[in-house]
A = this chain, B = another copy of it.
Amino acid sequence: MAVTLRDVAALAGVSPRSVSNVVNDFRYVSPAMQAKVRAALDELDYKPNLLARGLRQGRTGTIALLLPEITVAYFSELAHEIVERASQLGITVMIDETSGAPNRELALLEVAMRSSWVDGVLLSTLGLNGAALAGVKSDVPVVLLGERTAKSALDHVGIDNVRASRDAVQHLIDSGRRRIAAIGGSHAPSDMTSRLRLKGYRAALRAAGLPTEDYLYARTPKYRRGDAAVAVRALLAHPEPPDALFCFSDELAIGSLRELYEQGLRVPSDISVVGFDDIEESRFTTPSLTSISPDKHQIASTALETLMARIAGSDLRPRALQVGYQLLARESSTRQ
């Protein structure tokens, strides 16, 4: 059986209260008491039962991070930043995978929020739209990561997807590309990512007086490497194939690089490729991949600060917080 506060108190010959005082380094404890208690603490190798503490205090010092898929590099990199920052703040992060399935997301969210396990939730949602989220009664604060899914009553941290996409496409235009295709997502109402990025893509084309024909957008079931091949083949099959690809994720871009290679096209001389997310892998592909790089570090800090403020009781109205991004031009769009 585990050592309890009472055991320590008994050994030290003091009350549990005094032990608690020492453990939680309370202000007014006499040095003599300190010493006595510490000795007993060490001797018994006491560790507080965090369950009991959480039950008593109503707070656990733990937050949940709900991600669609941990194997998606962008999410694992984001998770890393969040864990890192949280650990500085003395907060434990419980990472959980939702598979991006709305029902599983909802289920996990409900559990996380209602079961007192966690003080707050960071939710990176793909499939959940504002309506679904509105139906969730939150006992604990929730901060959304990623695109703004309709107007929900929740705080939200992300980058300006429309502007970032426009920048990416503008970069392709600047380098002389004219038939620029977009790849990624479904453009379904729930897929806010593709909607916003497509919007930016089209805005850039229109501003340059370039065609925004429908066949230049290829949908994909998800945003993973393996989803790109079919899309690329479809685009290349057209009588007027594109001379550039704007992929809505780096993984799609990497899958595209592979398919272009198999089709015998050279990047960037025959066709340029730009991705989105700036995952580490993109610096090592051949050619290395031009990408939009959201400031993940800042996303992590901002999200955590916002969540901590809510947990502390902040009652401001929900805010949409935007953090910075960069366009990193690498070989896939620059080396001729």
Q: Which residues of A contact B (CB under 8 A)?
A: 2, 45, 47-52, 54-55, 60, 69-71, 73, 76-77, 79-80, 83-84, 92-97, 110-111, 114-117, 137, 139, 225-226, 254-255, 257-258, 261, 280-281, 283-286, 288
Which residues of B lie under 8 Å from residue A2 when comparing CB positions?
Answer: 114, 116, 139
Complex: chain B residue closest to A72, CB-CB:
B76
The residue that A286 contacts in the complex, of B45, B47, B286, with Cβ under 8 A, is: B286
Which residues of B lie under 8 Å from residue A115 when comparing CB positions?
Answer: 47-51
Q: A50-B117, A79-B97, A258-B288 are in contact. List 6 more A-B contacts (CB 8 A).
A: A49-B116, A50-B116, A51-B55, A95-B96, A225-B281, A285-B285
The residue that A280 contacts in the complex, of B48, B93, B225, B285, with Cβ under 8 A, is: B225
12 A-B pairs (CB sep. < 8 Å): A2-B114, A2-B139, A50-B115, A50-B117, A51-B115, A69-B80, A70-B83, A71-B280, A76-B76, A80-B97, A94-B95, A258-B288
Q: In the bound complex, do residue B284 and residue A255 qualify as a contact, i.e. CB atoms below 8 Å apart?
A: yes
Which residues of B lie under 8 Å from residue A254 when comparing CB positions?
Answer: 281, 284
Which residues of B lie under 8 Å from residue A255 when comparing CB positions?
Answer: 284
- A55-B52, A94-B95 known; A71 vs B77 contact (CB < 8 Å): yes
- A50-B116, A95-B94, A286-B258 known; A76 vs B83 contact (CB < 8 Å): no
Q: A254 vs B110: C-alpha distance in the bound complex, in angstroms?
A: 40
Which residues of B lie under 8 Å from residue A80 when comparing CB positions?
Answer: 69-71, 97
Which residues of B lie under 8 Å from residue A110 when comparing CB positions?
Answer: 47
- A50-B117, A115-B47 known; A257 vs B286 contact (CB < 8 Å): yes
Q: In the bound complex, do residue A137 and residue B45 qualify as a contact, i.e. CB atoms below 8 Å apart?
A: yes
- A96-B93, A281-B225, A286-B286 known; A60 vs B51 contact (CB < 8 Å): yes
* Distance of A71 from chain B, by nearest CB (Å): 5
Q: In the bound complex, do residue A55 and residue B49 qualify as a contact, i.e. CB atoms below 8 Å apart?
A: yes
The residue that A70 contacts in the complex, of B79, B92, B114, B283, with Cβ under 8 A, is: B79
* Distance of A260 from chain B, by nearest CB (Å): 9
Which residues of B lie under 8 Å from residue A285 when comparing CB positions?
Answer: 258, 285
Q: A139 vs B2: C-alpha distance in the bound complex, in angstroms?
A: 8
Q: A49 vs B286: C-alpha distance in the bound complex, in angstroms?
A: 52
Complex: chain B residue closest to A104, CB-CB:
B87
Which residues of B lie under 8 Å from residue A95 when comparing CB positions?
Answer: 70, 94-96
* Distance of A258 from chain B, by nearest CB (Å): 5
* Distance of A286 from chain B, by nearest CB (Å): 5
Complex: chain B residue closest to A113, CB-CB:
B47
